[in-house]
A and B are shown apart, each in its own frame.
Chain A
Amino acid sequence: MHRTGELFGQFETMEQQRESASLGMWVFLVTEVLFFGGMFMTYTLNRSTYPGIFAEASRSIALLLGAVNTVVLIGSSLTMAMAVWASQAGKKKLIPIFLIATLILGFVFLGIKAVEYHDKYVEHHIPGLNFRFEPGADVATNAHAQLFFSLYFAMTGLHALHMIIGAGLLFWLLKESLKERFTPQYNTPVELVGLYWHFVDIVWIFLFPLLYLIDRH
C-alpha cells in the first residue's frame, strides 16, 4: 500500500505526524554524528601527537581536487534542497529534474574521489600497499605518515560509502517522483533523504579543512 499523506491513527495532526518522521531521522543522524565522531576523535589525537608529519602528508594531497569536490558537493546539497522545495511547493515536474542534478553532482564527486585514490596508488601513498611516503624517509616518518593516510582513506572512504548509499536512495526517489507520488501533502521521503544528503555534506565540510588544508603556507 502506498502512502499518500493520510493521517495515521497514532497521530492527532498532520503536523505532528510530519514532525515525528523528521525527528526520527534526526535521531538517526545523531548516531551518525557519533559514528563519524569516533574517526574525528582518532584524527584529533594522532594529529596532536604528530603535527609535523600530518602537515607534510596533508600537503601531498591535491588541493585543487578537494576544493572542486567541496564546490560539487555543496552544489548537490543546493539541488537536493531544491528538490525538497519542489515537492513541498507541488512542482511535480521539477522534482525529478533536481533529483537527477543531485545524482549527477554526487557521481562527479565520487569520480573525482576515484581519481584522487588512483593518484595515491601511483604515489605509493596507500597504507599497507607498498607504502613509501618519500624516497629516503626514515622508519618513523613512514609510520606516522601511514597513520595520516590510514585516516584519510578510512574517513573519505566511509564518507564515500555514505554517498553511494545516498545515491541509491536518490535513485529510488527518482523512480517514485516519476510516478508523481510526491505532493505538498506527502513528501516525507524527499525531506528525509534530503536530511541524510545534507548530513553527508556536513561531514565533508569538516573533512576538507582537516585533511587537505593543514598548514598549507
Chain B
Amino acid sequence: MSEHHIVSPKIYFAIFGALMLCTGLTIWAAEVDLNHIFSGLNIIIALVIATLKASLVVLFFMHGKYSSRRTQMVIICSVFWLAVMLFMTMSDYLSRAWS
C-alpha cells in the first residue's frame, strides 16, 4: 500500500453501464412470475441483483477493491453485523408459536 491508486474514468463508466444493465434486469425480473417455480424466487432474484449492484458500488466507486486490508475488514464487518441482526431477529419472530 505504498502508492495511492487512482481509478480511471473508463472503469467508472463501465461500472455505471453495468449498474444500468442490472437496474433494467431487476425491473424485468419483477414483472416475470418466478414464484411459480418456487415461492419467494422473485424476492431472492431482486436481492441478488441489488447485492451485486451494491458490491460494484463498494468495490469501484468507493474504491473498496483498492483499499487496505484493514478498511476491507471494516466493510465486511458492516455486512456481517447486519446479517446477525436480520438472522437473529427473524429466527426469533418466526419461531414464536403463540403469534
Q: Please report A residues at the B interface, Cβ cutoff 8 Å.
A: 15, 18-19, 22-23, 26-27, 29-30, 33-34, 37-38, 40-41, 44-45, 48, 63, 67, 70-71, 74-75, 77-78, 80-82, 85, 88-89, 194-195, 198-199, 201-202, 205-206, 208-210, 213-217
Task: Please give the distance in Å from A83's CB to the nearest CB on chain B.
Answer: 11
**Assembly CA distance A27 to B74 (angstroms):** 7
**Assembly CA distance A201 to B53 (angstroms):** 10
Which range contains the number of B residues in contact with the other chain? Answer: 35 or more
Knowing A15-B4, A215-B35, A217-B33, the reply to whether A74 touches B19 (Cβ < 8 A) is: yes
Most chain A CB inside 10 Å of its own CB: which residue of B26, B35, B60: B26
Contact check, B50 vs A29: say whether CB atoms are below 8 A apart. no
Contact check, B57 vs A82: say whether CB atoms are below 8 A apart. no
**Assembly CA distance A71 to B68 (angstroms):** 30
Known: A48-B94, A198-B57, A202-B54. 4 other contacts (CB 8 A): A71-B20, A80-B61, A208-B50, A215-B42
User: Would you call the interface of chain A mostly helix, strand, loop, or mixed?
Assistant: helix
**Assembly CA distance A77 to B61 (angstroms):** 8
User: Would you call the interface of chain B mostly helix, strand, loop, or mixed?
Assistant: helix
Q: Please report B residues at the A interface, Cβ cutoff 8 Å.
A: 1-2, 4, 6-9, 12-13, 15-16, 19-20, 23, 26-27, 30-33, 35, 42-43, 46-47, 49-50, 53-54, 57-58, 60-63, 67-68, 70-71, 74-75, 77-79, 81-82, 85-86, 89-90, 93-94
